[in-house]
């Protein structure tokens, strides 16, 4: 991980230059371009830390259990977090573990997240 972050010394200035040129700038790189590069590097850093840590032990165990259920054919394409939670499988009955497992598997490219809009009102939203 240290080696990965060491490369940021080159990435941030390169991104700042790209931002500057994309904005039509010439001459010295503007501060706003550098600020955007730094903000984006923080975004990249968060993803890198998540990838290197590969989740907590609970998330990892839950992700393994979820992959096992998927490979066994116990979940069909398009399943939801609710489907997993309601199955009451070992390591997957806790909402936190289910969400952690799903997030980890999405991060690792095993699953693809899809948001579905419904006509349901949020709880406590009145009549």
DSSP for residue 28:
S
State how far the Cα of 47 lies from the Cα of 102, in Å rounded to an integer: 15
Calculate the average pLDDT of the chain.
83
Helix axes 95-107 and 57-71, enclosed angle (nearest 10): 80
pLDDT in tens, 51-105: 766 556 777 888 888 999 989 988 888 888 888 888 888 878 778 888 888 888 8
Q: How far apart are CA 101 and CA 89, in angstroms?
A: 13
In this predicted structure, which of 18-22, 24-28, 81-85, 93-97 has the lowest mean pLDDT? Answer: 93-97
The confidence score (pLDDT) of residue 33 equals: 95
Radius of gyration of the chain, Cα coordinates, nearest whole angstrom: 21
- Nearest Cα residue to 97 out of 56, 69, 67: 56
The predicted structure's pLDDT at residue 21: 95
């Amino acid at each position: 991980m240290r080696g990965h972050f060491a490369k940021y010394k080159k990435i941030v200035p390169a991104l700042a230059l790209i931002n500057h040129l994309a904005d039509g700038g010439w001459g010295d790189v503007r501060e706003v371009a550098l600020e955007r590069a730094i903000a984006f590097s923080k975004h990249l850093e968060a993803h890198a830390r998540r990838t290197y840590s590969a989740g907590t032990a609970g998330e990892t165990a839950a992700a393994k259990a979820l992959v096992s259920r998927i490979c066994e054919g116990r979940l069909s394409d398009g399943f939801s977090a609710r489907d997993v939670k309601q199955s009451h499988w070992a390591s997957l009955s806790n909402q936190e573990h289910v969400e952690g497992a799903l997030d980890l598997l999405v991060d690792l490219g095993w699953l693809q997240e899809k948001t579905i809009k419904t006509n349901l009102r949020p709880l406590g939203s009145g009549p």
